[in-house]
Amino acid sequence: MQDLHVGFIGLGIMGRPMAGHILRAGYPLTVYNRTRSKTEELASQGAQVAESPAEVAAESEVIITIVSDSPDVEEVVAGPKGILEGIKPHSVVIDMSTISPEVERNLDEKLRAKDCNLIDAPVSGGDVGAQKATLAIMAGGDQKVFERVRPILEVMGKSITYCGEVGCGQLTKLCNQILVSLNLLGVGEALTFARKNGLDPHVMIEAVKGGAAGSWQLSNLGPKIVERDFAPGFMVDLMQKDLRLVLEAAAAGKASLPATSLVRQLFCSAQAHGEGRQGTQILAKIIESLASLDQ
Amino acid sequence: MQDLHVGFIGLGIMGRPMAGHILRAGYPLTVYNRTRSKTEELASQGAQVAESPAEVAAESEVIITIVSDSPDVEEVVAGPKGILEGIKPHSVVIDMSTISPEVERNLDEKLRAKDCNLIDAPVSGGDVGAQKATLAIMAGGDQKVFERVRPILEVMGKSITYCGEVGCGQLTKLCNQILVSLNLLGVGEALTFARKNGLDPHVMIEAVKGGAAGSWQLSNLGPKIVERDFAPGFMVDLMQKDLRLVLEAAAAGKASLPATSLVRQLFCSAQAHGEGRQGTQILAKIIESLASLDQ
C-alpha cells in the first residue's frame, strides 16, 4: 500500500482507465463522478466513492481532476462542494484536463491561500494511451511539488516532462495541438493535391514519409484518410476546444498565428457539415470539398 | 565497367556528387555544364567533357539532367544544341530537377517522337543526401523503362519509388514540399507561441516530439530555430520555386490549397526582408515578426 491517499474526479473515457492504474499501483483511492454509475467498476475493485469533490478532497492528499473544459475545472475546484471546501493543508491538486493556462494560475492562487498547490498536467495519447498507461504528460507548477507527485504520474504515463511554472503544462499541450493540427493540414492538402492530380495516394505516402516530409500525422492518419476512415481517434469538437484555448493564449501572449486560425476555420466547416464528432482527419475531406463545387 | 554509357548535365551542388557516384560505380560518363570549370574534378577522375547537351546525348544511352527550373530543362532538352539534336533512338532522359509535371509530359512527347523516353525523377534529401547517396528519388514514366534505369538511380539514392506515368515523380515531389512547408509552418507557430508565452522551447520540443505532434521538421529544424541558426539546409528561394510549381499544378488539377498559399505568402515576406538565401526555417522568424510591431 502506497502512503499517499489519492482522489480522482472525472471518470470519462480518459479518467476511468487512468484511475484504474492508480488503484492497481496500490494507492488508496477515492473517486467522484457527476454520473455516479461510472464509479461502479472502480468501486468493485476497491475504490471508495465520494458524494462530492469536497468529500474527495477531505479524504486525499493528492487530488487528480480530468474533466472537459475550463468552467468544469473551476466548478470542481472552486464551486459549491468543490475541492477547496474540503481540502487539507499541504495537499496537491493535479489537473490533467486540457484547459486555459490562465485558469490554472487563478486556481493555484486559491489553493496556495490554503497552503496547497496546483500542478497542471495535461496529457497526450488519447484513450489508447490512457488504457495502456503510455500517455505523454506535460506538467507545470512548483518543481518540488511536482517531484513529490511524479511517482503517481508515472503510473499513468510513459513520458513525463516538467515544463515550468503553473500553466506551462497547458501551454506545452497547446503547442502540441498547434503541431498536430498543422501537420494534419499538410497531410490534407498533400492528399487532396495527389488525388486531384491522379497520383496513387498510398504510393505517395510511402515515397515521402521516411524523409523531411515525415510526421506522425502522415504515417498514422494519412492511410486512414485514403481509406475514407473518419472514425475518431480524436474528435473535431475536442480539437476545436483546444484550438480556441490556443488562440486565447496566443492573444494573451501577443503571438499571431495565421495558420492555426486557418485550420480552426476549416474545422468550423467540418462542424457546420455536422461532422464535429468525426476524427480530426475529416479535415482532408473539407479541403477536398473546397474544390468540388464543379463535380 | 557497366554496359550503359551515361551522360550527366548540370553539375551544381546536387549534380556534382551524384555524377561522382555514377563514375565510381563504373559507368562510362560524359558530362556537360554551362560553367565548364565545374567539370574539372570529374574529368580528372575519368569523365569525358562534352561541349553541349547534344554532344552528351550523342555519346550516351542514358542522359541525366539536374538543373534549376522548367525553362532550364526545356533549354537543355529542346533548345539549340540540346539533347534532342544529338540523341540516339532507344535512349532515356532522366530529369532529376524539380520542375513542372506538365513540362515533363511535353518533353516526353518530343522524346517519344525520336523513339526515346523521359523518366522524371526529382529527389529529396539535399546536398548531404547527394553526397552520401541517400537521396529519396520519386520517379514517373514508362515502368519498363524505369526498371531498366533503376540500377543507375540506386547508385545515387537510398529510397527509389516508382510513382506512375510521366510527371508523377514531380507530382510526388510537390506533395513532399507541401508536407515539408506546412509541417515547418506548424513548428514556426508552435515555437512563436512558446516563446511569447515564456515556455522553454527546448523543453517543449522534447516534451512533444515523440508523440502525435512529431515530425522530421520539428526534430531537425526546431532546435536550429531555437538556436537562431538560419543557415540553409534548403533555401527559401528554392522552396518558393517549388511552391509556385505546387500552386500551378494544384490549379491545373483543380485542388484548392489555402494553407500552402498562406505559407508561400509568408515565405514572400522572408524574401521581401532580403532573407531568400536563408534556410526555410527563417519562416519561424517571419511568424514571430507578425506580432512584433509593439516591441
Query: pLDDT band at A96, cuts 50/70/90?
Result: very high
Cell of B219: 526534430
> Where exactly does CATH 3.40.50.720 map onto chain B?
6-165
> Where exactly does CATH 1.10.1040.10 map onto chain B?
171-290
Task: Tell the residue number behind the cell numbers 484504474, with chain if given.
Answer: A20
The pLDDT of residue B117: 98
Contact state of B182 with A182 under an 8 Å Cβ cutoff: yes
Distance to chain B for A241, nearest Cα, Å = 17
Which one of A128, A163, A165, A183 would you mutate to disrupt binding with B, by most B Cβ within 10 Å of its Cβ? A183
**Whole-number Å distance between alpha carbons of A2 and A211:** 46
Q: Residue A131: which H helix or E strand, with range?
A: helix A126-132
Distance to chain B for A72, nearest Cα, Å = 24
Q: Kindly provide the ipTM of the predicted complex, given to two decimals.
A: 0.95
- Do residues B112 and B84 lie in contact, with contact meaning Cβ atoms separated by under 8 Å? no
Q: At what angle do helices B201-208 and A168-196 cross, to 10 degrees?
A: 60
Q: What is the DSSP string of B105-145?
A: HHHHHHHHTTT-EEEE--EESHHHHHHHT-EEEEEES-HHH
* A31 phi, psi to nearest 5 deg: -120, 155
User: In the CATH scheme, what is the code of domain A171-290?
Assistant: 1.10.1040.10
**Whole-number Å distance between alpha carbons of B35 and B25:** 25
The pLDDT of residue A2: 75
- Do residues A139 and A120 lie in contact, with contact meaning Cβ atoms separated by under 8 Å? yes
**Whole-number Å distance between alpha carbons of B257 and B255:** 6
Neighboring chain B residues of A172 at a CB cutoff of 8 Å: 194, 199, 203-204, 207-208
In the predicted structure, residue A295 carries a pLDDT above the cut 60: no
Q: Which of B136, B257, B259 sits opposite A207 (nearest CB)?
A: B136
CA-nearest residue to A160 within chain B is: B207
3-state secondary structure of A25: coil
Contacts of A279 (CB under 8 A, 6+ apart): A221, A224, A230, A231, A232, A233, A234, A235, A236
CA-nearest residue to A129 within chain B is: B211
Full pLDDT tens readout for chain B, 295 residues: 678 999 999 999 999 999 999 999 999 999 999 999 999 999 999 999 999 999 999 999 999 999 999 999 999 999 999 999 999 999 999 999 999 999 999 999 999 999 999 999 999 998 999 999 999 999 999 999 999 999 999 999 999 999 999 999 999 999 999 999 999 999 999 999 999 999 999 999 999 999 999 999 999 999 999 999 999 999 999 999 999 999 999 999 999 999 999 999 999 999 999 999 999 999 999 999 998 765 4
The pLDDT of residue A292: 76
The pLDDT of residue B3: 85
Contact state of A213 with B138 under an 8 Å Cβ cutoff: no
The pLDDT of residue B1: 61
Which one of A135, A180, A193 would you mutate to disrupt binding with B, by most B Cβ within 10 Å of its Cβ? A193
Neighboring chain B residues of A177 at a CB cutoff of 8 Å: 213
**Whole-number Å distance between alpha carbons of A231 and A167:** 32
If you classify domain A6-165 with CATH, what class do you get?
A: alpha beta
Contact state of A212 with B216 under an 8 Å Cβ cutoff: yes
Residue A173 falls in the annotated catalytic set:
yes
Mean pLDDT confidence for A22-35: 97
